[in-house]
Structure 1
């Protein structure tokens, strides 16, 4: 008698949302650089993504210095600076996601709070990882990373169209 194994389907599209690592101060908010601790955290973000085979096909990054430095330290694909990511609203991030070409399988957005945490809450269908959800609900600290498995093409992403599969603050141990 043959038995069929149940397997979980691997999502065809994923969205990784990263809040920039810890930044210092500057006269102009957009010019705030990473602190030494923030730079170490950014490197840990890159290692965490690599360990989980979460290398993005495209990385959309706020043009603010701290987000650019976070992605540079994390490594990976060349960033695309996108001014809407700096708007720091969930609506702006949602419009950015909906513009992504369908040949992209894994999209990373490196941005700011509150927009990243609000977008996670908006997209989450409530069926994902409970521990990840609790982590996101406790403030989404600098250097936090959320992974969402999408149920739809990027162009159709909206409320409840993703499953939160992971949340971590790499390098916080």
Structure 2
């Protein structure tokens, strides 16, 4: 089990925190265990595009929490190259096959000096977490998420006030949603 309690800088808890929930890109189906499935060719292309869209958000990530599955690690490796700043990355096995409640418990352990976190994981956990956390939504983000679902390489941006330990259902606002075109 990885530990990610490291000093990341000094930011005020008064500033809204942001969480980006990023689903891995499209995976291939070779004869390997689910955990070891690599990205498909389309997934490699979509991961890089998603990285550019993450860069476009302007969020200066402090921390990336990434599932240990091959497809999530490959997605993050391709996406992070598109960001202007490479955040500290922790590969966390508890993200693989996690429920929304388990993901909230993991986020509750986030160091308080991390303001902007990206979590790279899997469905149904990632979409379930977005649904559970988003008590409110800005503009048409919820409608777009409801209409498109959470396809491979999609991400949502959520913001909330308070400490990581206080993160709970309905505590966040869905501020943005992006998914690759089909």
When the two structures are superposed, what TM-score results if normalisation uses the length of structure 1?
0.88
Show CA shifts across 1:19-54 (max 9, x none). 000000132001111111111111111111111212
Which residue of structure 1 lines up, in the alignment, with residue 144 of structure 2?
A: 135
Partner residue of 1:95? 105
Equivalent pair of 1:146/1:167 in contact (CA under 8 Å):
yes
Please provide the CA RMSD for this pair. Answer: 1.6
Matches within 5 A, 1:12-161: 12-26=16-30, 27-75=32-80, 76-126=86-136, 128-137=137-146, 138-161=148-171
Gaps of 5+ in 2: 1-13, 81-85
CA distance in 1, matches of 2:16, 2:176: 16
The aligned counterpart of 2:5 is none
Structure 1 unmatched ranges of 5 or more = 1-9
Q: Which moved more, 1:93-102 or 1:72-81?
A: 72-81
2:156–2:174 CA contact under 8 A, matched in 1? yes
CA–CA separation in structure 1 for the residues paired with 2:116 and 2:50: 16
Tell me, in whole angstroms, the C-alpha distance in 2 between the residues paired with 1:11 and 1:135.
Answer: 27
Deviation above 3 Å: which 4+ runs of structure 1? Answer: none
Larger radius of gyration: 1
Aligned-partner SS, 1:46? helix
